[in-house]
Amino acid sequence: MSDNVPMTLEGHATLQEELKNLMRFERPKVVKDIEIARGHGDLSENAEYDAAKDRQGMIEGRIRDLSDKLARAQVIDVAQISSDKIVFGAKVTMLDVDTEVEVTYQLVGEDEANLKLGKISVTSPVGRALIGHQVDDEVRIKVPSGTKVYEIIDIVYE
């Protein structure tokens, strides 16, 4: 595992907010749920207690994960990048050569990736294939259905 975890300013703020929410609200709530479930008697047959303990484990695991990532965060202000090549943070507009459909993706950190918002992980197969390319380059990307060919139309850092 790499020492640094690249993320945008927006992604860093989102992870900090999630961590704060887990520590201030979710953790105390699950502790209270466990107390209430304990009050219902025999713990060996108490589904509420088991569910609360499982949830507590998930919350504590996520807190550890977020704390680790934030401690190793390499926060990148994408607006400060000036490059004609695709690097982390780039918003890339591409044309699918076969279907003539344009798509736009921003290359972000793994925790920020959300295809519905047009954000893909820089470590994904598509993200890795785009790194280093310039406008007018053709990029071949292996996808489950075969190989897609895209032409890079625009690269923006904002």
Among residues 105, 124, 109, 106, the alpha carbon closest in space to that of 75 is found at 109
> In order of start, what are the domains of the chain with their CATH numbers?
5-76 (1.10.287.180), 78-156 (3.10.50.30)
The mean pLDDT of 112-131, rounded to a whole number, is 94
Q: How many residues does the chain have?
A: 158
112, 10 contact by CB (below 8 A): yes
Q: Where is 31: in which H helix or E strand?
A: helix 27-38
Cα–Cα distance list, 121 to 28, 42, 91 (Å): 32, 46, 12
pLDDT at residue number 2 = 55
Query: Given pLDDT bands bounded at 50, 70 and 90, which one contains residue 39?
Result: confident
pLDDT digits (tens, 9 = 90+) for 144-155: 888 999 999 999
CA distance 112 to 109: 5
pLDDT digits (tens, 9 = 90+) for 67-94: 999 999 999 999 999 899 999 999 999 9
65, 107 contact by CB (below 8 A): no
CA distance 158 to 156: 6
What single string gives the DSSP state of each residue in 37-105? HHTTS-GGG-HHHHHHHHHHHHHHHHHHHHHHHHHTEEEE-GGG---SB--TT-EEEEEETTT--EEEE
